Amino acid sequence: MPIQRKRVVCIEDEQEIIDLVTHILSRAHYEVIGAMGGQVGLETVLRTKPDLVLLDLMMADMDGWEVYQKMKADDATRHIPVIVVTAKALSIDRVLGLHVARVDDYITKPFGPQQLLDSVDKLFAKTGEIHPAEP
């Protein structure tokens, strides 16, 4: 029986970043669903119940922290891990994200492909899940 590919939702307001994330993670056999903006992203998470969310913080319609709070307040989505992918690179932002909000990881833009892949793989390894199988 083939192993189901892990589903990742990338919530971002820049199509170029969604395309980059999709390219990097698809090559590693993850299924990536892009969502433009916070509101569409939250709706996508509720509809698809992904294995992981990659979340930008600075978006015009609904910022990433609001998306995160709504996810964690909903029994259907609170268990979904979140990796913040943001241009907010100050140390205090990282501390707030990792230690106060308790996101699962915090990646600053610009990021390298291996950095993103390592973060996603590490998260699934930590949760006891295996790397996606080759098709």
Residue 38 sits in a domain of what CATH number? 3.40.50.2300
pLDDT interval class at 92 (50, 70, 90): low
- The pTM of this model reads 0.87
Burial 46-84 (b: 16+ CB within 10 A, else e): eeeebbbbbbbbebeebbbbebbebbeeeeebeebbbbb
- What is the number of domains present in the chain? 1
What the block records as the tokens of 130 is: 């295996």
pLDDT, tens digit, 9 for 90 and up, residues 29-70: 999 999 999 999 999 999 999 999 999 988 989 999 899 999
- Is residue 79 a part of any domain in this protein? yes
Percent of the chain with pLDDT over 90: 62
- Is residue 2 a part of any domain in this protein? no
Range among 18-22, 59-63, 95-99 rated most confident = 18-22
Q: Is the pLDDT of residue 91 over 90?
A: no
- Is residue 114 a part of any domain in this protein? yes
Print the domain residue range for 108: 7-126
